[in-house]
Amino acid sequence: MQEAEKTVVVITHNLALTPIGDKIIKVKSGKIESIEINDNPMDVDRIEY
């Protein structure tokens, strides 16, 4: 469930966490490599890592 008016930034090397985000920004060598929009973020309780 997404709540309005809140932003959470997660910085990780663990790509298994990316399904929980509604926007995934991948950075390589200090530069943005890609930006992905996830219209259906997964609930954090369902992530296995």
Residues spanned by the domain of 35: 1-49
Q: Smallest Cα–Cα separation from 45: which of 19, 25, 26?
A: 19
pLDDT at 1: 57
Q: What pLDDT is recorded for position 26?
A: 95
In the prediction, which pLDDT does 40 show? 93
Nearest to 35 by CA among 25, 45, 47: 25
For residue range 1-49, list pLDDT tens digits in order.
566 678 889 999 999 999 999 999 999 999 999 999 999 999 888 887 7
Total of domains in the chain: 1
Q: Three-state SS across the chain?
A: CCCCCCCCCCCCCCHHHHHHCCEEEEEECCEEEEEEECCCCCCHHHCCC
- For 37-49, give one letter per residue: b (16+ CB within 10 A) or e: eeeeeeeeeeeee
Query: Tens digit of pLDDT for each residue in 6-18?
Result: 888 999 999 999 9
